[in-house]
Chain A
Amino acid sequence: MAGAASALFLLDIKGRVLIWRDYRGDVSSVQAERFFTKFIEKEDDPQSQDPVVYDSGVTYMFIQHNNVYLMAASRQNCNAASLLLFLHRLVDVFKYYFEELEEESLRDNFVVVYELLDEIMDFGFPQFTEAKILSEFIKTDAYKMEVTQRPPMAVTNAVSWRSEGIQYKKNEVFLDVVESVNILVNSNGQIIRSDVVGALKMRTYLSGMPECKLGLNDKVLLEAQGRTSKGKAIDLDDIKFHQCVRLARFENDRTISFIPPDGAFDLMTYRLSTQVKPLIWVEAQVEKHSRSRIEITVKARSQYKDRSTATNVEIELPVPSDATNPNVRTSMGSAAYAPENDALVWKIKSFPGNKEYMLRAEFSLPSITAEEPAPERKAPIRVKFEIPYFTVSGIQVRYLKIIEKSGYHALPWVRYITKAGEYELRLM
């Protein structure tokens, strides 16, 4: 971080200051508010959407969450990437405290917000952003009072993301392997881009300071051990770890070892850029009968093995914005017209592998059209789905060992799920 932030602002949807914390005294809230309210008014100007903007010597960096803007202001040449990420961390922290971050929850909790802003940054430099650790500083919730009168100890630990003395009756770890498939298909049916972004999401409920070790069917590791023949090995493109993982250890012998933070966190993320077959393929035909009627025929096909089943499939089909009187038939699931999105949403609760379903829809169009037709919308077909017990990459957790000096036995639970990320087919 090259420079320091001058102040943090929490603003409502119209850009008015709800609460702010001044760190360096060189940006005033009046100045910031005046600029920002004007700024968000100019919605049409594409420039106004940039998350980093400059106005008379001050740089404002902001993100939006629900009906709240979080904004950092600085007069220095600070590190934009770092501060934007910091704001997202701030959202996480607030969510930890208030369940949901919105204008209402901030208004109800001025004092806690001040306390948090006080500890999370000092004189414009980020300090602690782990919600669990911060909770040792935050005293306002009365019932939390009795718990600790001891000094905040995380700071004195070697492990800044976990405090000592955590106790659970039942020691459990939940590990979700979540893969999101991003795909882009052009109007000729060619896949122009596809990749998979995976995450190992962990929730830990463990006592003490547990040592965890995770084994994956990592190609490099298995080859090094001369065990390629056994099962499928995978090669991941770019792996990123949570700060708790001993990175040097991974570099040396590919072991993922760590002392986990308490609660939920992303242990590891990775990317896979190999071409994947679209798991759900959608074809659409649009016929314009005369000038007043349009007919859409859609075929959806699942292209994974029979034993897997996709759930909560949602296919969003764009329709002309002036279409009315939908008349829809489907061979499976239900379809609802969502005029607010100019789309027809086809929902299928359960979609087994190697199946094909159909949808036929008819709309009326106004027979009189405006002299100058509105610009044609070229929205893609978008698909959402989840396939449990399945990963595109074939990643597998071979083991998850938990060792704590008290010697308790902990239960690891592992789940796999594949879901649609940015899944777009430009077929209409």
Chain B
Amino acid sequence: MAPPAQSQRTQSPSQPSGKGEVSDLKTQLRQLAGSRAPGVDDSKRELFKKVISYMTIGIDVSSVFGEMVMCSVTPDIVLKKMCYLYVGNYAKVNPDLALLTINFLQRDCKDQDPMIRGLALRSLCSLRVANLVEYLVGPLGLGLKDSNSYVRTVAVIGVLKLYHISASTCIDEEFPLTLKHLMLNDPDAQVVANCLTALQEIWSAEASNSEDASREREALISKPVIYYFLNRMRVFSEWAQCIVLELVGKYVPSDNNEIFDIMNLLEDRLQHANGAVVLATIKVFLHLTLSMNDVHQQVYERIKAPLLTLVSSGSPEQSYAVLSHLHLLVMRAPFIFASDYKHFYCQYNEPSYVKKLKLEMLTAVANESNTYEIVTELCEYAANVDIPIARESIRAVGKIALQQYDVNAIVDRLLQFLEMEKDYVTAEALVLVKDLLRKYPQWSHDCIAVVGSISSNNVQEPKAKAALIWMLGEYSQEMHDAPYILESLIENWDDEHSAEVRLHLVTAVMKCFFKRAPETQKALGAALSAGLADFHQDVHDRALFYYRLLQYNASVAESVVNPPKQAVSVFADTQSSEIKDRIFDEFNSLSVVYQKPSYMFTDKEHRGPFEFSDELGNLSIGAEAAENVAPALMVEANDKDLLLSTSEKEEIKGPAYNGSAYSAPLYDASSPSVSSLSMQSELAISNPISAGNASPSIFAIDDLLGLVPATAPAPLPPQVKLNSKAALDPGTFQQKWRQLSLALSQDFTISPQGVAALTTPQTLLRHMQGHSIHCIASGGQSPNFKFFFFGQKAEESSNYLVECIINTSSAKAQIKIKADDQTTSQAFSDLFQSALSKFGSS
């Protein structure tokens, strides 16, 4: 809808400038309002059209509100539609006027024509005026029961709109329950699909306030609901199919047969013409098979062809979206497209956003067998007229070189770049040669010969200049005129605007000095004095540091500046694996395009449904994070992730967690759900078995986090009483976990009932809470779950921290306990185990 009254829009002279025309319209409309002459509808239409056009081009026509409403008493559907449009546009800014329209909208909601009923209802719900909510409830209720499916589709979305205006009204009127009923029983596919979208949104938002809602949200991904949707997949429109597939992706099947059944059922979706459906299906396949290594690989094979087709056919925008996803996949499984690299060759007139992604793909799929061809192709682009792409291509060549395949050929190519004598090519190539030399010092001989012949005057870009200067310093022994080049650079110190270059210059001169002192002495003096006078703090400090170092002891200075060289084996990856996993969890969304998890670019209130929020530690990581690793190892690897996530989020969001994939539940004493759950508020345990002969692993040092060697627990553990309302924030937990030594580590078996009850992490959370053991973070998917619990002594603030890994398929649990008071850790462990053993039986 057009913005009401945009005064900053410049009007062309031919357009009506406002007032006069609007008042004309007003009089004309008033004349027509009462008239019943034949043909009056046609003249009304013309006038209405004019009003709408004025509105669209930004003229404020809100002053004719009353006349419009009067004129809309008509059976003519076209007039009605235009009037609804008008009203919808101005109602929000004129709530008083909106009240005028309620009457006729409500009447239209009972019209004979379903089309009018639907339209009126939609307009009514779109008014977004809070004090009109009471008028909405009646028509919505009727709309949901309407015999016509069009009205019902509108009404369903109307409920969602109502929820956003007034959540409490929506819940109090029990509309969600009506939607649930409709979702499972309505014959019309679009009604069902809209119910699903509405319910997902409502229950996800409500879940943090009410137990019921979170249970309902769980119920959406329960077996019967999922199967209901799967079986009706074909009747849904393509857009609705995307929504349903997204839902199916959240479902955790109970066994492998079920996984295969679902995949067989959905396989034909890979042939759907709509790329969005195909991507959604791929997401389901990938997530279902995460725990099945072999099948997961087969899935990659199966989805290859559809994905490649999507890249090469369709709009460039689609290619862009699909290529972003391919890039993510290729990072996880580099082999899949290794033989299809030619699909990522760039076409001459593709938009550069597609070319850029293709270059990234080429870099990612390069391996022993195809490197030569890929680099040859990239060199073609380097000579291209499109300079940004040429630069990207050279960078791509460098990245491939650093991946260690066929370095020999690539070095030759890079050196050829240097000889091309194009400024931007030289600049990029210099940076790459520098990185290569850091990794493969053995190539220095070939490279330096070429680099030495480059005139520093032709290099202007700071990054490239810095790279060149670094090489001059590092290889001043091999380059004859290194001291003189440096000297001339220092002479032009004042013209050098980049601090980075000046920093490198100071260091390079120092390096050079220790290799060829007589030739460099003068330059060094000049550099240090220029550096000391530099206005840039870092440059100044570095020059001062060198100066004092030299004053103190020249040989120490040499060992600082010219230490024995060490080749860099791996350059740091810019993205942590944890972030990558989170992005993978959000496959088929913007996260993939941005290469960032969604919490980094959305606000809390705009998180989509099912990006689980804080209230129940309902996580979706863990088992699915690293499919290639054996389960036990994998959980180990995720330790950090879980802990990291809690602290990281704290930095970003403060205590209000709005979990994306990860979250750390926090139970504060005031929360009603806690008090209702912790019926057995205090739990005492009598003197348990002596802990003196606890398993030898007591003394094992936690390889990941334990820094201090463990001490044996005291022979006679005292009783432990836990505080049911303990509170600990994730930051403290993490800190303690790091500081404390491992007190106890035990393996034991879980009862079959316990295994059966552990379908999602939160079932256990609730149970443990009943035993005054609280959860700080949890994650995983069947069969691997991982939890961090804590308990607090009733009388004093002494904490027990527990890491608990449960594998439901082998019914094994492993716990590691750390405690402020080590002497009682065995007692706590027994308490913990007894609590766990009751899980599922109650």
**A interface residues, Cβ below 8 angstroms from B:** 1-4, 16-22, 24-26, 28-30, 46, 49-52, 54, 57, 59, 61, 63, 75-82, 84-88, 110-111, 114-115, 118, 122-123, 125-129, 137, 139-140, 142, 145, 149, 151-152, 155-156, 158, 160, 182, 184, 186-187, 192-193, 195, 197, 237-243, 246-248, 250-251, 266, 269, 271, 273, 375-380, 382, 422, 424, 426
Contacts and interface: CB of A to CB of B under 8 A. Distances in A.
Given A28-B3, A127-B153, A240-B271, A84 B318 contact: yes
A214 to B, nearest CB: 15
A238 B315 CA distance: 18
A426 B380 contact: yes
Contacts of B229: none
Nearest to B603: A57
Contacts of A128: 190, 237
Contact of A250 (B243, B271, B313): B271
Contacts of A84: 315, 317-318, 320-321
A375 B317 contact: no
B273 A266 contact: yes
A46 B356 contact: yes
A273 B85 CA distance: 51
A2 B588 contact: yes
A26 B312 contact: no
Contact of B345 (A22, A77, A110, A193): A193
A155 B242 contact: no
Contacts of B246: 1-2, 79
6 contacts: A63-B315, A81-B321, A82-B276, A82-B279, A129-B239, A192-B345
A152 B305 CA distance: 39
B268 A149 contact: no
A380 B160 CA distance: 54
Interface stretch (B171-179, B347-355, B691-699, B703-711): B347-355
A251 B342 contact: no
B702 to A, nearest CB: 36
Contact of B348 (A18, A152, A379): A379
B598 A51 contact: no
B272 A376 contact: no
Interface in B260-293: 267-269, 271-276, 278-280
B317 A59 contact: no
A245 to B, nearest CB: 8
B794 interface: no
Interface stretch (B49-57, B131-139, B220-228): B49-57
A49 B352 contact: yes
Contacts of A88: 315, 317-318
A52 B56 contact: no
Contacts of A238: 305-306, 308-309
B353 A49 contact: yes
Contacts of A137: 115
Given A88-B317, A127-B239, A115 B81 contact: yes
A125 B305 CA distance: 29
Nearest to A188: B376
Contacts of B321: 52, 80-81, 84
Nearest to A382: B348
Nearest to B268: A247
- Residue among A26, A29, A30, A240 with max Cβ neighbours from chain B (10 Å): A240
Nearest to A117: B1
Contact of B608 (A18, A54, A76, A247): A76
B383 interface: yes
Interface in B289-348: 305-306, 308-309, 312-313, 315-318, 320-322, 324-325, 342-343, 345, 347-348
B347 A251 contact: no
A273 B592 CA distance: 28
B276 A81 contact: yes
A382 B190 CA distance: 46
Interface stretch (B384-392, B546-554, B666-674, B782-790): B384-392
Which residue of A16, A129, A155 has the most chain B CB atoms within 10 A of its CB atom?
A155
Contact of A25 (B128, B317, B322): B128
Given A76-B608, A110-B52, A140 B78 contact: yes
B603 A85 contact: no
Contacts of A197: 309, 312-313
B2 A239 contact: no
A355 B376 CA distance: 33
Interface string B130-152: 00000000000000000011100
Given A80-B321, A85-B318, A152 B150 contact: yes
A100 to B, nearest CB: 18
A139 B81 contact: yes
A79 B194 contact: no
Contacts of B558: none
A234 to B, nearest CB: 16
Given A51-B353, A84-B321, A139-B78, A110 B56 contact: yes
Contacts of B351: 49
A184 B234 contact: no
Nearest to B392: A46
Given A54-B594, A184-B345, A155 B122 contact: no
B586 interface: yes
B589 interface: yes
A192 B377 contact: yes
Contact of B343 (A54, A115, A193, A241): A193
B586 A77 contact: yes
Contacts of B373: 192
Nearest to B382: A378
Given A75-B602, A242-B273, A271-B313, A142 B78 contact: yes
A71 to B, nearest CB: 11
Nearest to A133: B237
Interface string B229-246: 000001101110011001
The 5 A-B residue pairs whose C-beta atoms are closest, nearest first, are A82-B276, A247-B268, A77-B598, A126-B239, A81-B321
Interface in B416-432: 422
Contacts of A241: 271-273
B104 interface: no
Given A114-B85, A378-B384, A22 B1 contact: yes
B383 A376 contact: yes
A127 B11 CA distance: 35
Given A52-B590, A75-B606, A247 B3 contact: no
A251 B267 contact: yes
A3 B589 contact: yes
A333 B43 CA distance: 58
B827 to A, nearest CB: 46
Contact of B49 (A4, A111, A240): A111
A20 B1 contact: yes
Contact of A123 (B157, B312, B345, B602): B157
B407 to A, nearest CB: 23
Contacts of B238: 129, 243
Contact of A81 (B6, B81, B122, B279): B279
Contacts of B315: 63, 84-85, 88
Contact of B271 (A18, A75, A239, A266): A239
A376 B201 CA distance: 55
Interface in B573-628: 586, 588-594, 598, 601-603, 606-611
Interface centre among A1, A192, A195 (most CB of B within 10 A): A1
Contacts of A49: 351-353
Contact of A155 (B77, B190, B268): B190
Contacts of A151: 113-115, 148, 150
Given A2-B611, A85-B274, 19 more contacts: A16-B9, A49-B353, A51-B317, A51-B353, A54-B601, A79-B589, A81-B588, A82-B280, A115-B81, A125-B239, A142-B42, A142-B45, A240-B271, A240-B272, A243-B272, A269-B273, A269-B313, A273-B308, A380-B348
Given A139-B78, A151-B114, A243-B272, A50 B589 contact: no
B197 interface: yes
